[in-house]
Amino acid sequence: MSVRSQAERLLEQAVETLQAGGVASPEVDAELLLSHVCGVPRAMVRRAPVQEMQRRTFLEMIDARARRVPLQHITGTAAFRYVDVEVGPGVFVPRPETEVMTGWVIEQVQHLEAPVVVELCAGSGAISLSIVHEVPQARVHAVELDEGAMEWAFRNLAGTGVDLRQGDMAGAFPELDGAVDAVVANPPYIPLDAWESVAPEARDHDPALALWSGLDGLDAMRVVEEVSWRLLRRGGVLAVEHADAQGESAPAVFAERWSGVRDRTDLAGRPRFVTAHRP
């Protein structure tokens, strides 16, 4: 058996296992996991030599993925824009959809001399890390309530200069009232009765505080609206993520006193985040 055929046969077996487990992207996930184990780029993984210990580790990872453990929990990292963040049990895994919102915020502040940015519901800290990476002159402040998530955020933001605090966003950063240029948040937004519709990767592994938000999914969004109004300077901007089914209800939270309220789409063209300016 050639080295190449060994890797291909492993991948073929892995894809079948992942398909049986209901994983949405079995071939991609199998290649990414074998790439991770062998330490080679995904494009070269089908020709990679596979040692016996690597084979065993790979099959264990495939078994975990088939049980719908998030891919990022298995590898320990998640790619987000131009950075990688460490993730695992106890923290919400950042999604590609959130990268679009983060990019919008970066575009709004990158021309400012020393923009002040606040991230609410920071989770792993991926958004804040991206902002300081792409806008090094920014002064970024972040808050997260969940203790488990805070451990990951501290790890990811260590040495970045981000002012990271644990606590309820409702009372966060009173010393910044009226002085913030941008607020960004990916709050919990899933209605309590939508449990069955949530993918097992999120439902069974992401922390509950990062998922559920009242009967209509907008309880946290209403708090974000109040906190952002308090923090932002006149003309300051906000961006808040929501579920694709909330393309009308989420912007409505900001309709009464904000200007320029607009809903924006994600990479797949689905309603994903609302933006607005403080008049």
Helices (H), the chain: 3-20, 26-38, 52-66, 71-75, 96-109, 126-134, 147-157, 200-203, 219-231, 249-252
Q: Residues 129-139: what's their mean pLDDT?
A: 98
Listed residue (241, 125, 105) closest to 180, CA to CA: 105
Question: How high is the pLDDT of residue 3?
Answer: 43
Residue 211: band (very low, low, confident or very high) from pLDDT cuts 50, 70, 90: low
- Euclidean distance between CA atoms 247 and 219, whole angstroms: 16
More confident residue, 192 or 125: 125
User: String of b and e for 75-101 (b: at least 16 CB within 10 Å)?
Assistant: bebbebbebebbbbebbbbbbebbbbb
Residue 272 sits at the vertex; the CA angle it makes with 166 and 182, to the nearest 5 degrees, is 50
- Euclidean distance between CA atoms 85 and 81, whole angstroms: 10
- Euclidean distance between CA atoms 138 and 231, whole angstroms: 16
Tens-place pLDDT, residues 77-90: 999 999 999 999 88
| Domain assignment of residue 36, yes or no | yes
Q: With 0-12 CB in 10 A as exposed, 13-18 as middle and 19+ as buried, what is 213?
A: buried
Based on the fold, state whether residues 116 and 160 are members of the same structural domain.
yes
Residue 54: band (very low, low, confident or very high) from pLDDT cuts 50, 70, 90: very high
Based on the fold, state whether residues 148 and 55 are members of the same structural domain.
no
- Euclidean distance between CA atoms 12 and 102, whole angstroms: 37
Question: How high is the pLDDT of residue 261?
Answer: 97
Based on the fold, state whether residues 122 and 40 are members of the same structural domain.
no
Question: How high is the pLDDT of residue 90?
Answer: 87
Give me 155's structure tokens: 């790890």
Q: Which of 55-64, 127-136, 171-180, 207-216 has the lowest mean pLDDT?
A: 207-216
More confident residue, 193 or 56: 56
Which range in 147-151, 223-227, 247-251 is most confidently predicted, on average pLDDT?
A: 223-227
- Percent of all residues in the chain with a pLDDT value above 90, rounded to a whole number: 72
* 205: Cβ contacts below 8 Å, ≥ 6 apart: 68, 69, 70, 73, 89, 93
Residue 143: band (very low, low, confident or very high) from pLDDT cuts 50, 70, 90: very high
Based on the fold, state whether residues 164 and 130 are members of the same structural domain.
yes
Residue 34 has pLDDT above 70, yes or no: yes
Based on the fold, state whether residues 53 and 124 are members of the same structural domain.
no
Q: How crowded is residue 50: how many other Cβ atoms within 10 Å of its Cβ?
A: 18
- Euclidean distance between CA atoms 97 and 184, whole angstroms: 14
| Domain assignment of residue 74, yes or no | no
Based on the fold, state whether residues 105 and 59 are members of the same structural domain.
no
Based on the fold, state whether residues 107 and 217 are members of the same structural domain.
yes
The overall average pLDDT reported for the chain is: 90
Residue 152 has pLDDT above 70, yes or no: yes
Based on the fold, state whether residues 111 and 166 are members of the same structural domain.
yes
Question: How high is the pLDDT of residue 216?
Answer: 81
Structurally, how many domains does the chain consist of?
Answer: 2
Based on the fold, state whether residues 134 and 58 are members of the same structural domain.
no
Question: How high is the pLDDT of residue 47?
Answer: 86
Based on the fold, state whether residues 9 and 112 are members of the same structural domain.
no
Residue 141 has pLDDT above 90, yes or no: yes
Q: Is the dihedral of CA 247, 249, 253, 257 positive or negative?
A: positive
Range of the domain at 50: 3-67
